[in-house]
């Protein structure tokens, strides 16, 4: 009965999404207040029924209802309860329901927290989001129904061991909050095109929603990176996996978008360009959905599914992107150029910032899709991996990071170059000197390490100059200003982490018997053997390694090798001693003759800074959206329009 209730709720949500998508848009076009007023109640009702459906699926997993095909294929009676709940989105069908649920949440949030919007703009924004919801609900009901019944099974096939991890409780929802959140920016952009009001008001309304989505996506990518680091057992934090790229691309375009929105809001420039970026960010989110769920990719993150589902998503993708770009082509020519600015100005720096971000996105998109095109054309299979991405991506990001330090200090419209140079010369000189000398303290000078230090120090110095200048002017508190600078400091921290771990990590793959010791950097690892291990739904072996430094105990690590009962799948569970300046990482390999084991040992300097920096970026974005400019009354919002 519960699965049928969930299925019926999805049907009602589909009908409500259709009403939400058509009546308000038609009402706005005809200036019909009665039809426009349908937007809010329809969106809220749709959220209610999607939430009921999601709750029904979660209940089916928690109660081990093995008459539901989705539960049978992705759960097991001995699966811990927390993972039975996360199995709700551990399958293709469940993940699509989660996507739709979060889209309904974002739509609900717009109806609750954007009361200052003019009625016609609210109708258009909510209407566009209703049409997107309709597409996903139709896709689910037509090809990916999570409530399909089957003959009652004795037990399930179990959840993929990769997903049986605490990180999977929060990583997919947070990542989807970012992915789906760009639908709000997309809806504002389409609404602005439909209304012909591409002005500063539109940018101000859209900017906090876009920044919030970007912040969630930043956290989601960070969590995915950290999960891969500690869970997969290979010690890496980014592999340029195609599905990792699918989340990175909208993040890069979203970064360009939030900078472009600032120019549109402040100066009235970049209006058409900003709309294009909003369409691009959401389009890349949809493309990521297609890549992950069409079955065209082979990845530890992806779902291998029926190609007919991929065809449906591809058609939906073409309709959304093609229709949006067609509307953009028809209306963009009517948009004015906005405020003029000199060749050297803050606007120019932000434009170069945008171009570099789009170029970096293009390089990632090419490396991700090129192998698929070759395969589709029958020209053979190739693999594009880290060497390509590192050689193309890094040279684009380095000048981007450097310019991100100058841009916030430059004036709008025109920069007094001698004045700006005078403000920056000592900071730049000091950054170069420290960046050249500091690597010698690590024992070996490397040019890429000096470059990484230079970029990080440059951001820190320019942030300090900007904050000092604001304090001198007594400009007062600005959440947007300090949020921006916190996010830039996060970039500096991440660059340090990437630089240090890439240049100075130490790895040893060794054969160890009981009592053997291996020294990695200043740390000595002693192997104390392996004991049998039995978990709730797996068996395996649990190793013990005692770590000492200069004869003093540091920690005891317990890496594991598991075999999951239902699937028989082997799995490596790493053990890590975390630290602010280094991680000690251990993983068990295979059992060898004579009671020995193969063991992987890593010393990873400053690796945790990668994720600390990402958290600072996200916090900076969330701080920025609390700016008082975004808490205007309805009256002010109408006046600004």
Higher pLDDT, 500 or 594: 500
Percent residues over pLDDT 70 in the chain: 94
Nearest to 283 by CA among 307, 316, 309, 306: 316
Q: Is 50 exceeded by the pLDDT of residue 299?
A: no
As a whole number, mean pLDDT of residues 510-530 equals: 94
pLDDT of 563: 92
Q: Is the alpha carbon torsion for 426, 432, 436, 438 positive or negative? A: positive
Which two three-digit tokens encode residue 574?
């790493």
Question: 92-113 and 271-293 helices cross at what angle (nearest 10)?
Answer: 150
pLDDT of 196: 81
As a whole number, mean pLDDT of residues 86-112 equals: 94
As a whole number, mean pLDDT of residues 328-333 equals: 84
pLDDT of 295: 55
As a whole number, mean pLDDT of residues 231-241 equals: 84
Could you read off the pLDDT of 304-326 as tens digits, one per residue? 456 677 778 888 888 999 999 99
Q: Is 80 exceeded by the pLDDT of residue 296?
A: no
Q: Could you state, in order of their start, the residue ranges of all structural domains in the chain?
A: 1-164, 168-407, 416-504+615-641, 506-606
Which long-range contacts does 187-190 make (Cβ < 8 Å, 24+ apart)?
A: 187/110, 187/124, 187/125, 187/126, 187/128, 187/129, 187/132, 188/125, 188/278, 189/274, 189/275, 189/278, 189/279, 189/324, 190/124, 190/128, 190/279, 190/324, 190/327
pTM: 0.93
Quote the CA–CA distance of 539 and 85 in Å, as a whole number: 22
pLDDT of 475: 65
Under the banding of pLDDT at 50, 70 and 90, the label for residue 204 is confident
Q: Is 80 exceeded by the pLDDT of residue 518?
A: yes
Q: Is 90 exceeded by the pLDDT of residue 357?
A: yes
As a whole number, mean pLDDT of residues 379-400 equals: 87
Could you read off the pLDDT of 246-257 as tens digits, one per residue? 899 999 999 999
pLDDT of 335: 66
Ranking 97-106, 344-353, 437-446 by mean pLDDT, the lowest is 437-446
Q: What is the DSSP string of 214-236?
A: HHHHHHHHHHHHHHHHHHSSS--
Higher pLDDT, 492 or 416: 492
Q: Is 60 exceeded by the pLDDT of residue 118?
A: yes
Q: Is 60 exceeded by the pLDDT of residue 598?
A: yes
Q: Is 80 exceeded by the pLDDT of residue 7?
A: yes
How many C-beta atoms lie closer than 10 Å to residue 322's C-beta? 11
Under a CB-based contact definition with an 8 Å cutoff, are residues 277 and 257 in contact?
yes
Under the banding of pLDDT at 50, 70 and 90, the label for residue 218 is very high
Which two three-digit tokens encode residue 628?
């008082």
* Class at the top of the CATH hierarchy for domain 1-164: mainly alpha
Q: What does pLDDT average to over the chain? A: 89
pLDDT of 438: 79
Under a CB-based contact definition with an 8 Å cutoff, are residues 256 and 357 in contact?
yes
Percent residues over pLDDT 90 in the chain: 60
Could you read off the pLDDT of 624-641 as tens digits, one per residue? 999 887 765 344 444 333
pLDDT of 546: 97
pLDDT of 121: 93
- Residue keyed to tokens 């309805």: 634
Burial of 152 (0-12, 13-18, 19+ CB in 10 A): exposed
């Amino acid at each position: 009965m519960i699965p049928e209730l969930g299925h019926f709720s999805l049907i009602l949500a589909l009908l409500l999404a259709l009403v939400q998508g058509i009546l308000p848009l038609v009402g706005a076009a005809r200036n019909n207040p009665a039809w426009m007023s349908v937007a809010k109640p329809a969106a809220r009702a749709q959220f209610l029924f999607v939430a009921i459906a999601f709750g029904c699926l979660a209940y089916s997993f928690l109660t081990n209802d093995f008459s539901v095909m989705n539960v049978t294929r992705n759960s097991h009676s001995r699966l811990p309860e927390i993972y039975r709940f996360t199995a709700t989105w551990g399958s293709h069908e469940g993940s699509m329901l989660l996507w739709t649920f979060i889209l309904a949440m974002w739509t609900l949030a717009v109806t609750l927290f954007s009361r200052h919007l003019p009625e016609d703009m609210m109708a258009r924004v909510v209407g566009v989001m209703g049409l997107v919801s309709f597409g996903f609900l139709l896709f689910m009901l037509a090809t990916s129904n999570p409530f399909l019944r089957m003959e009652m099974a004795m037990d399930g096939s179990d959840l993929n061991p990769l997903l049986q991890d605490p990180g999977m409780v929060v990583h997919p929802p947070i990542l989807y909050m970012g992915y789906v959140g760009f639908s709000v920016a997309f809806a504002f952009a389409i609404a602005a095109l439909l209304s012909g009001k591409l002005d500063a008001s539109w940018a101000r309304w859209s900017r906090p929603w876009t920044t919030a989505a970007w912040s969630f996506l930043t956290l989601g990518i960070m969590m995915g990176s950290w999960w891969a680091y500690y869970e997969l057992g290979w010690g890496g934090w980014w592999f340029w996996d195609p599905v990792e790229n699918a989340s990175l691309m909208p993040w890069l375009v979203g970064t360009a978008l939030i900078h472009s929105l600032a120019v549109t809001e402040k100066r009235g420039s970049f209006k058409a360009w900003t709309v294009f970026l909003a369409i691009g960010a959401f389009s890349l989110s949809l493309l990521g959905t297609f890549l992950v769920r069409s079955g065209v990719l082979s990845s530890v993150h992806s779902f291998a599914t029926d190609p007919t589902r991929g065809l449906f998503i591809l058609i939906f993708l073409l309709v959304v992107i093609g229709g949006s770009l067609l509307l953009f082509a028809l209306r963009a020519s009517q948009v004015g150029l906005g405020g003029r600015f000199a060749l050297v100005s803050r606007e120019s720096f932000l434009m170069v910032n945008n171009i570099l971000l789009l170029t970096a996105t293009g390089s990632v998109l090419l490396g991700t899709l090129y192998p698929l095109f070759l395969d589709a054309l029958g020209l053979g299979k190739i693999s594009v991996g880290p060497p390509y991405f590192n050689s193309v991506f890094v040279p684009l990001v380095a000048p981007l990071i450097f310019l991100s330090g100058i841009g916030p200090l430059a004036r709008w419209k025109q920069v007094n170059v001698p004045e700006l140079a005078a403000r920056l010369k000592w900071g730049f000189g000091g950054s170069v000197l420290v960046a050249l000398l500091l690597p010698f303290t690590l024992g070996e000078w490397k040019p890429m390490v000096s470059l990484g230090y230079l970029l990080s120090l440059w951001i820190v110095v320019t942030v300090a100059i900007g904050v000092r200048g604001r304090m001198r002017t007594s400009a007062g508190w600005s959440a947007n200003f300090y949020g921006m600078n916190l996010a830039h400091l996060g970039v500096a921290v991440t660059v340090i982490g990437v630089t240090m771990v890439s240049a100075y990590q130490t790895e040893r793959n060794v054969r160890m018997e009981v009592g053997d010791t291996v020294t990695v950097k200043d740390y000595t690892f002693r192997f104390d053997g392996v004991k049998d291990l039995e978990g709730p739904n797996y068996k395996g072996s649990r190793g013990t390694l005692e770590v000492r430094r200069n004869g003093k105990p540091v920690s005891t690590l317990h890496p594991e090798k598991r075999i999951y009962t239902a699937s028989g799948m082997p799995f490596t569970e790493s053990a890590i001693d975390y630290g602010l300046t280094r991680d000690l990482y251990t993983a068990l390999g295979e059992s060898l003759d004579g009671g020995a084991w193969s063991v992987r040992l890593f010393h990873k300097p400053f690796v945790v800074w990668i994720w600390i920096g990402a958290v600072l970026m996200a916090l900076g974005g969330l701080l920025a959206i609390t700016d008082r400019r975004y808490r205007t009354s309805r009256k002010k919002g109408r006046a600004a329009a």
